[in-house]
Structure 1
Amino acid sequence: MRHRYFVRTQYGVIKIKSLSYSFDLPALHLWLNTHKKEIETRINFWIDGILPLRSALNMLLNLICKFNTFTSQKSYNRFYQGSVENADLIRIRLLINLSLYPQISGHKTRFAIRFLHEDSENGIVPDDFPFKLACC
């Protein structure tokens, strides 16, 4: 896993020796030394507080996206530009084996998608490739 850019950057942060001492992050060390049962109780309490929000967001997103289907699109030179009226959400489906992620920018009725490789130093992004797009 050391060849992955993300892992390498995180490994550099972990190597900082002072982060391993309890006086730097006392609350974290107290938390880590708490009994597992107490940790589970606290986490469940926090989650219970946000479950109504999660349910409302899921319902809203389902309503927004229910009537919009994915259409096949193609990137050109690792880029896609589109325009849309009355849309609040852009959804993208990519093939996982490409190891790409979208960088989206836009304003009102126009948007642009630039596709980047997860390994920004050594990854290769194909010039043209298909993907699916839904504007809700």
Structure 2
Amino acid sequence: MAVTPVLADGSSAIIFEQPLNERVRTFLRLEFLFGQHAHHRQDSSNYGLRARLQTLLDTLTVLSRSDLKKDILKELLEQHAHLTRLAARPGVDQSRLSGVLQDLTTSVTGLQHLATQFAGSALRDNEFLISIHNRTSIPGGSCAFDLPAYHFWLSQPSEIVNRDLDAWFADLAPFERAIGLYLKLLRGSTEISAGLARGGTYVHSPQGPVQLLRVFVPQAAAAYPEISAGAHRFTIRFVSLRDVNRRSTQVHQDVAFGIQCCSL
């Protein structure tokens, strides 16, 4: 996140997220890749363009592995139906709700216009992208003498290179909007509550199913959480890493933190 979260006591915190099912895990990976793409889009250097195309290829690879279009459409349509029913309740902020429903409608429409297996087709049918994709598992495998066509393309005027990159990314934009909206709703599904890890360990049994566990650790704690989560219970063990060149150590003092058990 661009803004450092602040806990109830005014302290700044670092957010650690643990997905508890494969779908949310994949959505978080894609959110990370979309963020990388947006960052590299600001860099017009040769290496910036390479990083941007690599991120695009990674995103297409993730999307081609399963029918994520069907999954995210199902989630968004269920949320639209739920929020539509919520509109009838008294005390609901109708203006805010209307904006969320409109965002959901826009995202659903964008996804519905996409071919189901567009990501796999992009990696299978474009010889130029295939040649680069096949070399990415080799360290330094996409340098100029390995891929002269890639080297030539990168030497073209920036408007040509950006035109191609924008065209390849166009089909990903609806996924970026849809996944961003879904994760926003998921993260906002519950309030942050206070937790206390006695002796550096916290065990919790949630009241219902949890899709995403979020742990807010005060920066002053100088520790990070190792999370072990199952269907009915999760354990958080806080670990200190004061020097990355040395082994991490278990924290033995109490650690106060914030926690969210998110579910839609």
Which blocks of at least 5 consecutive residues in structure 2 are unaligned?
Answer: 1-138
Q: State the one-letter code of the partner of 2:260.
A: A
Checking the alignment, whether the CA contact within 8 Å between 1:117 and 1:123 is kept in structure 2 is yes
Is 1:104 paired with 2:227?
A: yes
Show the 5 A alignment for 1:66-77. 66-77=188-199
Is 1:116 paired with 2:239?
A: yes
Q: Report the Cα distance in structure 2 between the residues aligned to 1:76 and 1:115, rounded to whole angstroms.
A: 10
- Of the three residues 147, 151, 155, the one matched with 1:34 is 155
Q: 1:19 to 1:96 in 2, by over 3 A?
A: same
**TM-score when normalising by structure 1:** 0.62
User: By percentage of residues, which structure has more strand?
Assistant: 1
Which blocks of at least 5 consecutive residues in structure 1 are unaligned?
Answer: 1-17
Checking the alignment, whether the CA contact within 8 Å between 2:221 and 2:255 is kept in structure 1 is no
Q: Report the Cα distance in structure 2 between the residues aligned to 1:58 and 1:34, rounded to whole angstroms.
A: 34
Measured on the aligned residues, the alpha-carbon RMSD in Å equals 3.4
Checking the alignment, whether the CA contact within 8 Å between 2:199 and 2:255 is kept in structure 1 is no
Alignment-derived partner of residue 4 in structure 1: none
Q: CA offsets per residue over residues 81-115 of structure 1, 9 Å max, x none? A: 11112211111112235453332221111111223
1:109 alignment partner, SS class: coil
Choose between structure 1 and 2 for higher RCO, CA contacts under 8 A separated by at least 6 residues: 1
Q: Report the Cα distance in structure 1 between the residues aligned to 2:237 and 2:182, rounded to whole angstroms.
A: 27
Alignment-derived partner of residue 135 in structure 1: 261
- Of the three residues 148, 171, 174, the one matched with 1:52 is 174
Q: Report the Cα distance in structure 2 between the residues aligned to 1:72 and 1:117, rounded to whole angstroms.
A: 20
Alignment-derived partner of residue 94 in structure 1: 217
Same amino acid, percent of matched pairs? 20
Checking the alignment, whether the CA contact within 8 Å between 2:201 and 2:235 is kept in structure 1 is yes
Q: Report the Cα distance in structure 2 between the residues aligned to 1:117 and 1:76, rounded to whole angstroms.
A: 15
User: By percentage of residues, which structure has more helix?
Assistant: 2
Q: How many residues end up aligned between the 2 structures?
A: 118
